[in-house]
Amino acid sequence: MATVLTVAPLELERTSRIDPEYYLPDYQDLEDRLKRLKASPLTDVAKVSDGNHASISKHFTSSGVRYLRGQDINDFFISAGSPVYLPLKTYNSAPMLRSHMQPLDVLVSIVGTIGAVALLPADAGPVTGSCKIAILRSRTVDPYYLAAFLLSRYGQMQMRRLTRGALQMGLILDDFDQIKVPTPSPELVELVTSRIEMAQAERRSADKAFGSTVKSSLVQLNLADSPSNYGANHLSLERSKVRSIGRLDPEFFLAREHHDLRERISSNMGTLDEVCDRIASGVTPAKEEYTTQGVPILKVEGLDSIGTARHTDGFVSAEWAARNPKAAVQAGDVLMLSAAHAASYIGKSGVVVDELPAEARVVAELINLRSTTVPPEALAIYLNLPPVRSHVRGLIRGSTAHLYPRDLKQVPVPDLTGDLGEELTFGFQESHKRQRSARTLLQEAVTAVEIELDALSDI
């Protein structure tokens, strides 16, 4: 059913936006509530800036000062997956000073996963990041409350309303003064602070459990001293070998040279094709085919750094889902990232940990690995091991860096059905239990914000 909106010229938003979505009744109701709450502009209660705009990737290293990108903050907790760093000298250079982040800065993704929020822990060391991240530094508002507020319905709806753009959607810093932040009660601040601090502690425990399991498996599989990256100045290949494989790109052969998993792993080896019943890419809907509710579709943003994949915010219609059965996904499937703007992200894998409706679907940038013989938790941890990730990256094809299901089929896999599989599964479950606890605590903080603001703004 169509909604007819009538907006007088004098009632247009300050930049004269005429897109009808901006004036939808739900947004107007939100605006009225914020007026009754006498909410203040975000720029009055916090300093607003963004990260680094200069080209910096040539300075990335494997250690030093953490450099955050948009995808590093997509689930509130700073992702430990595929981190990049800057040398201290580069971090302290004049062009980088404006993008230095401090403990308890609230970070907001303004491009890509728009509206994702993170809070730097109170004990965070030196950190910086890209211009895809807005940096909110508290002036008068409690940072824990500000983070929870922006995650709440009140914050998310405001950011969604202010998102603009044609080819690339995003939030612009000039619009942040239109985000209104109500003043919380002292009791709410105390509750929110407690819940978020406990959530951050639980997430650190989850990361530690996952990391310990990874280290143990590297030792057991004889991969502990295997480099996570490969490089060589010269590589000689026999013509017959090139012809039989059908590849000419040197990266493929360098990966095989430095990460011959069959030779290194002390275990019976099979292949992904042998242990998986299904290895297939999903399907990505056109932009206009996404809906605000309906059938969940799992996206790249749902892959985290500790081996899990969850539904975030994407939905499609039941009709679209019925037309695309090859994109089916279910709990226990392992999803692997197959396309990204940087090859280093490709190969990241996670288990679908939540129950999904039978119609659920997955996007084309994720390859679905389904096995009925291998524990999915063990398979996900194995695929996330740095040497295995490097091996998989060697299979990437094309100028746009893409991984195809047919190339994954021959990836070596050790026997994960015995003691090793049980150990990896136990480690994964311990990590996931902590992760789930962290999400529950965070949701309690967000819900508390919504309950108080709803009660105070009800007519």
Segment-wise mean pLDDT, segments of 10 residues, the chain, 459 residues: 55 62 88 96 96 89 90 82 87 93 96 90 94 96 98 96 83 95 97 97 92 90 66 46 51 50 75 94 91 91 86 90 95 93 83 93 95 94 91 84 91 90 93 94 98 92
Whether domain 205-428 has CATH 3.90.220.20: yes
Long-range contacts at 168-174 (CB < 8 A, ≥ 24 apart): 168/111, 169/111, 169/114, 170/110, 170/111, 170/114, 171/108, 171/110, 171/111, 171/114, 171/115, 171/134, 172/110, 173/48, 173/49, 173/50, 173/110, 173/134
- Rounded Cα distance between 99 and 188, Å, is 31
CATH superfamily, domain 9-183, is DNA methylase specificity domains (3.90.220.20)
- Bridge partners for 65 per DSSP: 86
Phi and psi torsions of 166, nearest 5°? -105, -80
Amino acid at position 296, single letter: P
pLDDT for the residue numbered 213:
92
pLDDT for the residue numbered 257:
43
- Rounded Cα distance between 7 and 28, Å, is 12
Phi and psi torsions of 426, nearest 5°? -65, -45
Question: Would you tell me how many other CB atoms lie within 10 Å of the CB of residue 261?
Answer: 22
Distances (CA, A) of 221 to 5, 229, 355: 63, 18, 32
Q: Which of 381, 364, 62, 401 is nearest to 252 (CA)?
A: 401
**DSSP-based three-state secondary structure for 316:** strand
Identify the residue whose tokens are 């300075």: 59
Identify the residue whose tokens are 């999803």: 335
What are the sequence ranges of the domains in the chain?
9-183, 205-428
